[in-house]
């Protein structure tokens, strides 16, 4: 794709020393490779720049994921396993840690930004700010703790309240399935709750890496599809209207 150089034809008005007024008239764009030139108006230039900005913006999409759930259910363990392929045995309560890496989603390069939030009740008051920055949520509980599943309702309700949206990309995640002998939550019980919320339910193990890549990939796919749908609707609503920058 050819790059474009933009030259501005202008008139400089007579003003006191130190003051310059620029009156824009026409613009000349020139291909930096083939050196062909053409003239364009201000409106045409704006359209050109907007098109270039959109292409640049979407060249490497960024998907923002928020990890939520009670303390000790394995949110950090899942994140570290996905990011680095490591399993951390020790439990160190998280306040808020952010991670980012490049990955490939359905053949397209993209970036994922993961915010691993605190599950402890004392941090409940600051969660609202975290939720506002999210595009999708992994709500994690431990299949070994019935109470952690019950607490997911609180996280779900808080996210819907803060975003005023109960259709945001959201996956219920049952972690620690490698501890089958300690299981307290059945697959069917968790899946039934996910059905009520109209979301997917996926079981994982941060220790064995079972479904770890799959759960992040599925959420990124939901985020991408939601963005595409919103952009399509915005494109229809703005059709035929002028945009002033």
17 vs 135, residue with greater confidence: 135
Answer yes or no: is pLDDT of 240 > 70.
Answer: no
What is the structure's pLDDT at 27?
46
What is the structure's pLDDT at 25?
43
Answer yes or no: is pLDDT of 66 > 50.
Answer: yes
CATH architecture of 62-229: 3-Layer(aba) Sandwich (3.40)
User: What CA–CA distance (Å, rounded) separates 171 from 174?
Assistant: 10
Answer yes or no: is pLDDT of 168 > 70.
Answer: yes
What is the structure's pLDDT at 46?
66
pLDDT in tens, 96-151: 899 999 999 999 999 999 999 886 665 666 788 889 999 999 999 999 999 999 99
- What 3 state SS string does the chain have? CCCEEEEEEEEECCCCCCCCCEEEEEEEEEECCCCCEEEECHHHHHHHHHHHHHHHHHHCCEEEEEEEECCCCCHHHHHHHHHHCCCCCCCCCCCEEEEEEEEEECCEEEEEEEEEECCCHHHHHHHHHHHHCCCEEEEEEECCCHHHHHHHHHHHHHHHHHHCCCCCCEEEEEECCCCHHHCCCCHHHHHHHHHHHCCEEEECECCCCECHHHHHHHHHHHHHHHHHHHHHHHHHHCCCCCCCC
| Stretch 87-96: mean pLDDT | 76
Kindly state the percentage of the chain with pLDDT values over 90.
Answer: 59
**Band (179; pLDDT cuts 50, 70, 90):** very high
- Whether the CB-CB separation of 109 and 58 falls below 8 Å is answered with no
What is the structure's pLDDT at 55?
58
| Stretch 37-56: mean pLDDT | 62
Q: Where are the domains of the chain?
A: 4-59, 62-229
Answer yes or no: is pLDDT of 63 > 90.
Answer: yes
């Amino acid at each position: 794709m050819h790059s474009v150089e933009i030259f501005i034809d202008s008139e400089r008005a007579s003003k006191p020393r130190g003051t310059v007024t620029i009156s824009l008239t026409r613009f000349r764009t020139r291909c930096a490779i083939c050196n062909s030139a053409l003239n364009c108006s201000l409106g045409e230039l704006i359209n050109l720049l907007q098109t270039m900005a959109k292409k640049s913006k979407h060249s490497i999409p960024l998907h923002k994921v928020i990890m939520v759930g009670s303390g000790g259910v394995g949110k950090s363990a899942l994140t570290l396993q996905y990011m680095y392929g490591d399993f951390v045995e020790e439990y160190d309560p998280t306040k808020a840690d952010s991670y980012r890496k490049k990955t490939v989603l359905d053949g397209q390069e993209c970036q994922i930004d993961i915010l691993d939030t605190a599950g402890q009740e004392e941090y409940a008051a600051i969660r609202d700010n975290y939720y506002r920055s999210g595009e999708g949520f992994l709500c994690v509980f431990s299949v070994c703790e019935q109470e952690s599943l019950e607490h997911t309702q609180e996280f779900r309700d808080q996210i819907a309240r803060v975003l005023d949206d109960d259709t945001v990309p959201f996956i219920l995640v049952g972690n620690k399935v490698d501890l089958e002998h300690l299981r307290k939550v059945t697959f069917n019980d968790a899946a039934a709750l996910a059905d009520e919320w109209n979301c997917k339910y996926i079981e994982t193990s941060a220790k064995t890496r079972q479904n770890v890549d799959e759960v992040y990939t599925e959420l990124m796919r939901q985020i991408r599809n939601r963005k595409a749908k919103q952009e399509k609707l915005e494109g229809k609503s703005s059709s035929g209207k002028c945009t002033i920058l």
